[in-house]
């Protein structure tokens, strides 16, 4: 036994290098495997030729004691033939230089290792049988290497039908694409394209000769064939039809457009020409208390009889006659109309008279403080006229066709001198006592635009102007022909300013209406280098495009209260105290529109508001009605 064991060990030592060589050869062939099913098949046939029919879960350890009998059932030639077919099939089907692993490979290796560990007692017999088998396989490979054998995929008994069909499709596809020779065709096409592609060349710019470029049309160059330039052809002036031509200069007859009864109209003029100057008792006795003032406001109502249709366009300005016996409301409209409405005339349609002294919007309207029978109107068309009821004419006071006027006010108690503001920022001093319709002095201000001009009620030399975003106070005695500088500038506003007015009795307050939805009240009791801001009242002043802009006005009887229109619903006209508190709101069923322009009677509790359709709404005491 010892001799036989030694002989077996020697044979084992001699055969181990050969076994390693055989394994290396088969692994070298498997290096071409790129698909997992094929690689799994090779590993099964090479690593477990004698273990393929078995499973450790189905057999006991004692049943694995006879692997030699299983090997004897399969002849060495048959096993070698199958190995040869597998290796040739892999060489033909699988592309080279791809090496993968699979779950089946790992499972087979694990099972092989498990079998190996469990069958250590029979290792000698297995080693001998495996070496004999490898020798037979190698000899069969050497003998059949030159034969062209097309193996059948059915020989892979260890694969499922799906894997065998898949390998068959792979083999057929590989043979088909190899027969097409696509790589060679692509190479030939690439060579043809490269040969046919023309070389890239940049376009050469033509050289200029003597600094002359490409040819141009001589007609466009306006030269004749000889090279002499042609004279410029005069362009005919374009005739633009003026929709609102200026009215002729000079006085205009006061003719009503809506009344045909001359006798009634003459009676109207005669009545208002005889009105005397009102007394100033209310001004001398001072202000009333807020409590009594609010009580008087509560007694003011509106009715259908106090709503009048006066003009055809939006109302831009409004004034109330200071008479204490009769009520006369004057309005200036967008299309140059001036309307007079006598509330004491019945029926009310007979009390409305419309005149046309201007061709553009009438932005400012005042009754003369010296003669109540005179009404002065200013328009965008650059004219300032005075309507005289006694003479039934509109006399021209100031005319400047090169400029557009925005506002004016009286610099004297007798209304002989005026200050006129222009939309372009200029200001004019006008003296009615001098002949002609020109100005006495024209000065430019530091403002780009002037909307309103208002004179201090006590110190007549001071006046305030409202512009785009600045409010300036000037001294009329210090005006210069160029760039007059203001005494004080109110710079608290952030957007355009619609109006700025002194308080009517003392001038100690200034109220401004700004597009930033704020009403601001300043303390102007001391005209110094700075006027402090007292109150800011939040109020919606955004009227839009089709409504006249709001202008907050002081109540002539109560100079600490401000009257302004409102965008709130239901429609109303509001009165605020200088502290910012709301004193009263005028409203009613007859007020259904926004009254942008409002005016209060100087001595009586009568309020008139004008909207953007030419209507006026009058609130007055029931006794006065």
Lowest mean per-residue pLDDT among 168-177, 240-249, 571-580: 240-249
pLDDT at 56: 45
pLDDT at 130: 41
Q: Please give the helix or strand (H or E) that residue 599 lies within, else none.
A: strand 597-600
Rounded distance between C-alpha atoms, residue 538 and residue 616, angstroms: 26
Q: What does the pLDDT look like over 395-414, one tens digit per residue?
A: 999 999 899 999 999 999 99
Chain-centroid distance of CA 479 in Å reads 45
Q: What does the pLDDT look like over 185-242, one tens digit per residue?
A: 889 888 888 877 666 666 666 565 555 557 778 888 888 888 788 887 777 666 554 5
Q: What does the pLDDT look like over 525-545, one tens digit per residue?
A: 988 778 999 999 999 999 998
Selected residue with higher pLDDT from 329 and 198 = 329
Q: Which option is the CATH number for 252-277+318-546: 2.60.40.10, 2.130.10.10, 3.20.20.370, 3.40.630.30?
A: 2.130.10.10
Three-class DSSP labels, 129-197: HHHHHHHHHHHHHHHHCCCCCCCCHHHCCCCCHHHHHHHHHHHHHHHHHHHHCHHHHHHHHHHHHHHHC
Q: How large is the average pLDDT for residues 564-585? A: 95
Mean of per-residue pLDDT scores for the chain:
78
Q: Is the pLDDT reported for residue 70 higher than 80?
A: no
Domain ranges of the chain: 252-277+318-546
Selected residue with higher pLDDT from 120 and 442 = 442
Q: What does the pLDDT look like over 258-268, one tens digit per residue?
A: 888 888 888 88
pLDDT at 246: 84
Q: Is the pLDDT reported for residue 3 higher than 70?
A: no
Phi then psi for residue 238, to 5 deg, are -85, 130
Q: Is the peptide bond before 347 cis (omega within 30 degrees of 0)?
A: yes
Selected residue with higher pLDDT from 98 and 620 = 620
Nearby residues of 513 by Cβ (< 8 Å), 6 or more positions away: 497, 498, 499, 500, 519, 541, 549, 550, 551, 552, 564
Q: What is the pTM of this model?
A: 0.61
pLDDT at 528: 78
pLDDT at 347: 85
Nearby residues of 506 by Cβ (< 8 Å), 6 or more positions away: 457, 458, 525, 559
Rounded distance between C-alpha atoms, residue 357 and residue 251, angstroms: 9
**Which percentage of the chain shows pLDDT scores above 70?**
68
How is residue 372 annotated by DSSP?
Answer: T
Q: What does the pLDDT look like over 370-394, one tens digit per residue?
A: 998 999 999 999 999 999 999 999 9
Per the listing, tokens 């004016």 go with: 408
How many residues does this entry show for the chain? 625
User: 146-150, 194-198, 243-247, 356-360: which has the highest mean pLDDT?
Assistant: 356-360
Query: Cβ of 274: how many Cβ atoms within 10 Å?
Result: 11
């Amino acid at each position: 036994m010892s001799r036989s064991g030694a002989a077996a060990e020697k044979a084992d030592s001699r055969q181990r290098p050969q076994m390693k060589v055989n394994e290396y050869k088969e692994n070298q062939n498997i290096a071409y495997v790129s698909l997992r099913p094929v690689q799994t098949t090779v590993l099964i046939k090479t690593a477990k030729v004698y273990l393929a029919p078995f499973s450790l879960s189905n057999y006991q350890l004692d049943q694995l004691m006879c692997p030699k009998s299983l090997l004897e059932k399969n002849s060495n030639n048959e096993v070698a033939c199958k190995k040869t077919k597998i290796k040739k099939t892999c060489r033909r089907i699988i592309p080279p230089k791809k090496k993968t692993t699979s779950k089946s490979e790992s499972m087979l290796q694990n099972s092989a290792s498990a079998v190996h560990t469990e069958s250590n007692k029979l290792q000698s017999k297995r080693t001998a049988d495996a070496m004999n088998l490898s020798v037979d396989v190698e000899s069969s490979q050497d003998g059949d290497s030159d034969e062209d054998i097309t193996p059948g995929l059915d020989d892979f008994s260890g694969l499922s039908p799906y894997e065998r069909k898949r390998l068959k499709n792979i083999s057929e596809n590989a043979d088909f694409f190899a027969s097409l020779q696509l790589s060679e065709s692509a190479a030939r096409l690439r060579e043809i394209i490269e040969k046919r592609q023309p070389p890239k060349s940049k376009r050469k710019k033509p050289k200029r000769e003597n600094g002359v470029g490409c040819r141009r049309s001589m007609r466009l160059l306006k030269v004749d064939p000889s090279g002499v330039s042609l004279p410029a052809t005069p362009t005919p002036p374009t005739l633009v039809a003026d929709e609102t031509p200026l009215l002729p200069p000079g006085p205009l007859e006061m003719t009503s457009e809506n009344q045909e009864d001359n006798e009634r109209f003459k009676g109207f003029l005669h009545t208002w020409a005889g009105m005397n100057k009102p007394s100033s008792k209310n001004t001398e006795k001072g202000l009333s208390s807020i409590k009594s003032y609010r009580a008087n406001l509560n007694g003011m109502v509106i009715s259908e009889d106090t709503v009048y249709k006066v003009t055809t366009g939006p109302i831009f300005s409004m004034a109330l006659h200071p008479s204490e016996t009769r009520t006369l409301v004057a309005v200036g409209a967008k299309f140059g109309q001036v309307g007079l409405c006598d509330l004491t005339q019945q029926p009310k349609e007979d009390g409305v008279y419309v005149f046309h002294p201007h061709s553009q919007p009438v932005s400012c309207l005042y009754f003369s403080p010296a003669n109540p029978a005179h009404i002065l109107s200013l328009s965008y068309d650059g004219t300032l006229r005075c309507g005289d009821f006694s003479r039934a004419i509109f006399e021209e006071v100031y005319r400047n066709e090169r400029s557009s006027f925005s506002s004016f006010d009286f610099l004297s108690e007798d209304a002989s001198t005026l200050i006129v503001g222009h939309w372009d920022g200029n200001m004019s001093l006008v003296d009615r006592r001098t002949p002609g319709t020109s100005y006495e002095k024209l000065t430019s201000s530091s403002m780009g635009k002037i909307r309103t001009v208002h004179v201090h009620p006590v110190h007549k030399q001071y006046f305030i102007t409202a512009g785009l975003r600045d409010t300036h106070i000037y001294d009329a005695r210090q005006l210069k022909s160029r760039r007059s500088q203001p005494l004080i500038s109110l710079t608290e506003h952030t957007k355009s300013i619609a109006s700025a007015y002194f308080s009517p009795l003392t001038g100690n307050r200034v109220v401004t209406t700004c597009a930033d939805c704020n009403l601001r009240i300043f303390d102007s009791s001391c005209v110094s280098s700075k006027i402090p801001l007292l109150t800011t009242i939040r109020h919606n002043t955004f009227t839009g495009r089709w409504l006249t802009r709001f202008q907050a006005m002081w109540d002539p009887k109560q100079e600490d209260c401000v009257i302004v229109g409102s965008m709130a619903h239901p429609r109303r006209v509001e009165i605020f105290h200088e502290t910012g508190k709301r004193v009263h709101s005028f409203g009613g069923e007859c007020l259904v529109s926004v009254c942008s322009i409002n005016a209060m009677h100087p001595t009586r509790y009568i309020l008139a508001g004008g909207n953007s359709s030419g209507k006026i709404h009058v609130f007055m005491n029931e006794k006065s009605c």
